[in-house]
Amino acid sequence: MVETIGMTAQAPFALELEWTVAAGDQPCIYRFTLHNRGTEPLANFSLAWSGPGRIDPKSAIENAVLLRRVSNFTEVMPPQGFVLEPNTSWTFTIRGTSYPLRHWTDAARSAYVTNAAGKHVSVDVGICRSTGATDDTPKLDIEAIGDLSDLSDGIAVVPRPGTVHVNGARNAASSLSLRAKSPVALKAATHFETLVTQLFPDESLIGDGIDINFAHRDGAQESYTIAFGDQVTLSASSESGYLYGLVTLGQILRAARQAPEHCRFPTEGYIHDTPHHTWRGAHLDVARQYYTMDELRRFTAILAWNKLNRFHLHLTEDEAWRYEVEAYPDLARVGAFRGAGLALPPLLGSGAASYGGFYAKADLRALVALAENYNIVVVPEVDVPGHSYAAIMALPFLRDPGENAEYQSIQGFPNNCLNAGVPKTLQFVETIFAELMEIFPGPWIHVGADEVPEDAWHASPLARQHLPNAGETIAQPLQADFLRHLHRQIQAAGRTTGAWEEGAHGGGVTPEKSYLVAWRSTAVGAELAAQGYDVVMSPGQAYYLDMALSPDWWEPGASWAGTSSLENTYRFDPYHGFAPEHRARMIGVQACIWSEPMSDRRVFQRLVFPRLSAIAETGWTPPSAKSWKHFAASSRFMPSLYGDLCA
Ligand code: ACM
């Protein structure tokens, strides 16, 4: 029997998948078996699938013929004349993938048959098994870890406050009664009310009960002090300080209600709290998978509950373009959807039917406003010049018509980079970034700049004409030229350019008015800091939340950057390798949620929560106040996107 996830109706066809790990001189084998569960024979058909693992262009296919491959979309047909009779099956094997499958979510996640009449018929896709895996159950749930008795002070707050000196316990059945009077405190109280209504609509956290008074106190932005007594006094110098103090009180109250034997709402003492880093980020890739505005709003609220203050919104990719651009309506109309027969094929688990969506400007402006109320700046990213397959498919004028050879991105997309030598490219880029900056008023605009293939544009006459002295490998100088242009535009608009670490290559994005996100290793971050860049640390091996929790086949997620348990992510030291004199260049840390494996939202749950909170704690809590045991016990109270973690 073929087991499926999230499928109810039985499709006429079922696909069984098996991965055989390479052993000795035996290469890995990816085996597909298509079962005909219907009553009709199937002749003259093809089978297409998508999912993170890619078939290598050089792979050997037995008992099938390759028809088309674009990144992880693959279409094959059986040998000439083959008929798949009812209650029979067709098996074919592939030796050679772009990387070995390491987890069940690396395999095909959707498939369809195209019959002789050209009709697409859906296929139930089984969970891929691996001959190397012992157990046989995909891991999907979030497991509460840690021991509540480790909460020595009875205060389950994440991120952990810097200083906690408290005593006593109140009746936690009570609610917070917010006595805000000053305009700043009133604003914070209003936004906190919106936040708890969004996250915990049934919990009545605000109401009659414990009086919370607000007082002004000079001090750093985002810092706050809470004094516990008959009444509670929350002091801060800013709206964000008040908001974060309220978040702390809300967390204390929730934990005291849910685990009164271990957690308390104190009657004496104080909490003093101030963030360690100014940049406490979370990145979300909304291109590989589409997230609704509701999901984005809830995600924003979750960031606030973690005292994260930067939402890096990754809006464009090879796989999709996700925001409305008035000057180029086709970007969203064409580039936001994947499906059989569309400009973009099904990818990463989307099927034959059109899949996707884009965000209207008004929706994005509303998201920015919501985030601002929660002390979060939305940092938009349009990833250029690489990762632009969707844009180029939507707007073919972005191609050099004379480019007569192919280069492939690391993810297997052909000729996916915007070409600065094409006359209309720079005007196009100026326009899309001008519109982007109208929507996103914040200080930072992220331009991507990652993973341009080393041989990009090598066969483009227009690229050669643009940079006649570039030499054999034109990719880096042309990318740097492109980025210098864009960096100037962003600076002229009074903003700061963000880029992935490759932005520095060839002197594209210079250190003035910029920051770079180091993603390959702490060594890269340390080196960029030494070169004078402001650096946000997001090393893939610990902070990429699409990486699996362990090497186990049944863990969802990827492993190309490594695997990271919650504890490993928590304990990871982003300063590792930084010279003392360069530490101040690290402006903060960031979780990156790449969406390749997230076609099932339960996968998202398991991968993101509570590792997101572990990174939030590293961003906020001074290293000396961090405690793994305390965090492990407290993290169960944190909200998640698709259901609470609470034990
Ligand atoms: C990246 O992971 N390509 C930034």
Over residues 550-560, the pLDDT tens digits come to 999 999 999 99
Instruction: Write down the pLDDT at residue 644.
Output: 56
Q: Is residue 148 within 8 Å of residue 259, measured between CB atoms?
A: yes
Mutate to test the pocket of ligand 1, among 283, 318, 519, 596 (most ligand atoms within 8 A of CB): 519
- Mean pLDDT over 601-613 rounds to 96
Q: How many angstroms separate the CA atoms of 301 and 322, rounded?
A: 21
The per-residue pLDDT of the chain, averaged, comes to 95
Please enumerate in sequence order all residues whose Cβ is within 8 A of that of 574, keeping only pairs 6 or more positions apart, or say none: 522, 525, 537, 539, 586, 589, 618
**Stated length of the chain:** 647
Q: From ligand 1's centre to the CA of 153, what distance in Å?
A: 40
What's the confidence (pLDDT) of residue 86?
Answer: 97
**Is residue 115 within 8 Å of 45, Cβ to Cβ?**
yes
pLDDT value for 19:
96
Does residue 287 have a pLDDT over 60? yes
User: Residue 517 CA: which ligand 1 atom is closest?
Assistant: 4
Residue nearest to atom 1 of ligand 1 (CA): 450
Helix intervals (H) in 33-148? none
Ligand 1 centroid–CA 478 distance in Å is 19
Q: Quote the ligand 1 centre to 540 CA distance (angstroms).
A: 8
Ligand 1 midpoint to CA 517 (Å): 9
What is the distance between the alpha carbons of residues 548 and 551, in angstroms, rounded to a whole number? 7
Could you read off the pLDDT of 405-434 as tens digits, one per residue?
Answer: 999 999 999 999 999 999 999 999 999 999
The closest alpha carbon to 530, from 585, 464, 599, belongs to 585
Closest atom, ligand 1, to C-alpha of 450: 3
pLDDT higher than 90, residue 220: yes
Q: According to the model, what pLDDT value does residue 25 have? A: 82
Residue 4 near residue 126, CB atoms below 8 Å: yes
**Residue of 383, 500, 536 with the most ligand 1 atoms within 8 Å of its CB, for mutation:** 500
* 600 CA to centre of ligand 1 in angstroms: 22
What's the gap in Å between 450 CA and the centre of ligand 1?
6
Amino acid 7: pLDDT? 45
How far away, in angstroms, is 592 Cα from ligand 1 center?
A: 9
Give, for ligand 1, the residue of 451, 502, 545, 547 to mutate: max count of ligand atoms closer than 8 Å to Cβ.
451
Q: Which of 164, 271, 155, 281 has the alpha carbon at shortest distance from 223?
A: 271
Nearest residue (by CA) to ligand 1, atom 3, is: 450
- Find the 34 Cα to ligand 1 centroid distance in Å: 35
Q: Which atom of ligand 1 is nearest to the CA of 448?
A: 4
Q: Bridge partners of 233?
A: 213, 227
Question: What torsion do the CA atoms of 601, 607, 609, 614 make, to the nearest 10 degrees?
Answer: -160
Q: What is the 3-state secondary structure (H, E, C) of 262-278?
A: CCCCCCEEEEEECCCCC
Q: Compute the C-alpha angle 96/47/288, nearest 5°.
A: 70
Mean pLDDT of 262-271: 97
Tell me what pLDDT residue 471 has: 80
Mean pLDDT score, 141-162: 92
**CA 139/CA 424 separation, integer angstroms:** 48
Q: What is the pLDDT of residues 334-354, one digit of tens each?
A: 999 999 999 999 999 999 999
Atom of ligand 1 nearest to the CA of 594: 2
Question: Which atom of ligand 1 lies nearest, measured to the CA of 500?
Answer: 4
Q: Which atom of ligand 1 is nearest to the CA of 451?
A: 3
Both tokens of 265, joined, read 């709402």
Can the peptide bond before residue 610 be classed as cis, meaning omega within 30 degrees of 0? yes
DSSP 307: T
| Amino acid at site 45 | F
Spatial separation of the C-alpha atoms in residues 10 and 27, rounded to whole Å? 34
pLDDT of residue 647: 32
Instruction: Tell me if residue 240 falls in helix, strand or coil.
Output: helix
**Would you state the structure tokens that stand for residue 503, as one six-digit string?**
């932005």
Provide the residue type at 364 as one letter: L
pLDDT of residue 135: 72
Average pLDDT over residues 200-217: 97
Cα(449) to ligand 1 centroid in Å equals: 9
* CA–CA distance, 452 with 438 (Å, rounded to integer): 27
pLDDT digit string (tens) for 561-572? 999 999 999 999
Task: Name residue 165's beta-bridge partners.
Answer: 270
How do residues 442-469 score in pLDDT, each as one tens digit?
999 999 999 999 999 999 999 999 999 9
Give the span between the Cα atoms of 475 and 413, in whole angstroms: 16
- DSSP per-residue codes, 189-233: HHHHHHHHHHH-TTS--BSSEEEEEEEE----TT-EEEEESSSEE
Residue 161 has pLDDT above 70, yes or no: yes
Best residue among 317, 450, 543, 546 to mutate for probing ligand 1, ranked by most atoms within 8 Å of CB: 450
Degrees, nearest 5: CA angle 526-532-535: 50
Whether 8 has a pLDDT exceeding 70, the answer reads no
Residue 99 clears pLDDT 90, i.e. is over it: no
Containing H/E element for 427? helix 425-439
The pLDDT of residue 94: 96
Distance 111 CA to ligand 1 centre (A): 27
Separation of 640 CA from ligand 1 center, angstroms? 24
pLDDT in tens, 38-73: 999 999 999 999 999 999 888 899 999 999 999 999
Ligand 1 geometric centre to CA of 385 (Å): 13
Please tell me whether residue 474 adopts helix, strand or coil conformation: coil
Residues contacting 461, CB < 8 A, separation 6+: 400, 402, 403
For residues 143-155, average pLDDT: 90
Separation CA 493–CA 443 (nearest Å): 10
Which residue from 241, 153, 253, 161 is spatially nearest to 206, judged by alpha carbons?
Answer: 253
- Of the chain, the percentage scoring pLDDT greater than 70 comes to 98
Atom from ligand 1 closest to the CA of residue 540: 2
Range in 18-27, 30-39, 628-637 with the lowest mean pLDDT: 18-27
SS3 letters across 279-345: EEEEEEECCCCCCCHHHHHHHHHHHHHCCCCEEEEECECCCCECECCCCCHHHHHHHCEECCCCCCC
Which of 169-173, 184-188, 632-636 bottoms out in mean pLDDT, i.e. has the lowest?
Answer: 169-173
Residue labelled with tokens 């670490």: 501
Residue whose CA is closest, atom 2 of ligand 1? 519
Rounded average pLDDT over 172-198: 96
Strand ranges of the sheet holding 163-167, from the earlier edge strand across to the other edge: 163-167, 268-273, 224-228, 232-236, 209-216, 175-179
Task: Identify the residues whose C-beta falls under 6 Å from ligand 1.
Answer: 450-451, 500, 519
pLDDT at res. 9: 58
Pick the closest to residue 404 from 465, 462, 454 (CA basis): 462
